[in-house]
């Protein structure tokens, strides 16, 4: 009996050892293959997040308009091939993703490159450009008065940047069906659509993006003119700021509250004061109308839903779109070109 028990125990110990070894291999495979995690660089580059925050803070102090631009930069990166830093690539032939007209006016690439230069000096070949974009957007939100939140990191940089891939980006001319479709293609729902659009609570837009809405919208009775859904008083206000052919004048996306991170943008959308057409489209569908209304009520700050937390959660979800992790992709030495 003792011998049988001994042999049996020996077999179990061996089996247990093999099982533990297999478990460790699976665990290591999971780490290398990849899930994003908060504090990914805590050992390999402990100063990574504070370095990015410092660069963003200094840049925002010199030019506050760069903060919403960094937020827009992450959106443009993640909605094309996923959050892989592909929007940062500069191709000499004009065929890179950033050369697509849908990226017109994109700013902040030099801020990401500046942070990358510092991080390469600290921890060569460790921190990806894709993660710098995500961290910079997070810091930009906080420095404009928005919520502070943790960003999972561990992204790798993609190895493809194609001008035509950016055709999939949402556009200021998109109606609600197109917007919903583009968000769903990236695993985001109507609530995410409203929350991420609410990033327009800070920042400006150029009159270039309003020209069609103010002067060239197809009208029900034929011909073209101003979008008939714009309230007359607001239409006069917009036209006074953006004359025909004026492409460069800038105006706040959030009327009356363009420098403060708050829910004013949603109240403006509800009341017909959305500046660009894609924002106004959120009030043309029951699902998005309900979400807009839920956050724009006066009591939502006290009884929920809680916009700041939900916005942060939506940012994290967006930052997880199509990420490259583990052994895929690369960690670029310079963000604007492949290794």
Residue in 76, 138, 155, 332 annotated catalytic: 76
| Helices of type H across the chain | 2-33, 48-62, 66-78, 109-122, 129-143, 176-184, 190-197, 211-215, 232-241, 264-270, 277-280, 286-296, 300-303, 307-318
Look up residue 261 and give its two tokens: 């991170």
Binding residues for heme b are: 200
Angle of the 48-62 helix axis to the 109-122 helix axis, nearest 10 = 140
173 as an active site residue: the answer is no
Residue 151 and residue 138 in contact, taking contact as beta carbons nearer than 8 Å: yes
Look up residue 83 and give its two tokens: 């959050």
Binding residues are: 77, 80, 82, 84, 86, 97, 170, 200-201, 254, 262
Using CA atoms, how far apart are residues 194 and 307, in angstroms rounded to an integer? 11
Binding residues for substrate are: 170
CA torsion, points 312, 262, 206, 137, in degrees to nearest 10? -30
Residue 84 and residue 323 in contact, taking contact as beta carbons nearer than 8 Å: yes
Nearest to 130 by CA among 295, 329, 264, 263: 329
Q: Indicate if the alpha-carbon torsion angle 79, 194, 262, 274 is positive or negative.
A: positive
Using CA atoms, how far apart are residues 13 and 17, in angstroms rounded to an integer? 6
Binding residues for Ca(2+) are: 77, 80, 82, 84, 86, 97, 201, 254, 262
Look up residue 121 and give its two tokens: 């000096």
Active site (catalytic) residues: 76
């Amino acid at each position: 009996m003792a011998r049988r028990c001994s042999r049996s125990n020996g077999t179990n110990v061996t089996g247990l050892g093999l099982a533990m070894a297999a478990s460790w291999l699976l665990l290591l495979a999971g780490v290398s293959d990849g899930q994003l995690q908060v504090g990914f660089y805590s050992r390999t580059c402990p100063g990574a997040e504070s370095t990015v925050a410092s660069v963003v803070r200094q840049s925002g102090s010199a030019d506050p308009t760069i903060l919403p631009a960094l937020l827009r930069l992450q959106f443009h990166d993640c909605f094309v091939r996923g959050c892989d830093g592909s929007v940062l690539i500069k191709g000499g032939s004009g065929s890179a993703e950033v050369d697509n007209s849908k990226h017109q006016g994109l700013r902040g690439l030099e801020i990401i490159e500046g942070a990358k230069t510092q991080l390469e000096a600290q921890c060569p070949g460790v921190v990806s450009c894709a993660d710098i974009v995500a961290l910079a957007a997070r810091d930009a939100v906080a420095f404009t008065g928005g919520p502070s939140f943790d960003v999972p990191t561990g992204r790798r940089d993609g190895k493809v940047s194609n001008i035509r891939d950016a055709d999939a980006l949402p556009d200021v001319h998109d109606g609600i069906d197109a917007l919903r479709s583009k968000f769903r293609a990236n695993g985001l729902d109507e609530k995410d659509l409203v929350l991420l659009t609410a990033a327009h609570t800070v920042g400006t837009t150029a009159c270039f993006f309003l020209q069609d809405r103010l002067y060239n919208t197809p009208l029900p009775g034929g011909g073209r003119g101003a979008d008939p859904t714009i309230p007359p008083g607001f239409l006069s206000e917009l036209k006074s700021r953006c004359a025909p052919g004026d492409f460069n004048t800038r105006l706040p996306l959030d009327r009356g509250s363009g420098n403060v991170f708050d829910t004013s943008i949603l109240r403006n959308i509800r009341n017909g004061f959305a500046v660009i057409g894609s924002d106004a489209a959120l009030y043309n569908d029951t699902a998005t109308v309900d979400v807009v209304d839920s956050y724009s009520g006066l009591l939502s700050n006290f009884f929920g839903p809680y916009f700041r937390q939900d916005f942060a959660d939506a940012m994290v979800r967006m930052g997880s779109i199509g990420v490259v992790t583990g052994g895929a992709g690369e960690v670029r030495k310079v963000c604007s070109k492949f290794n």
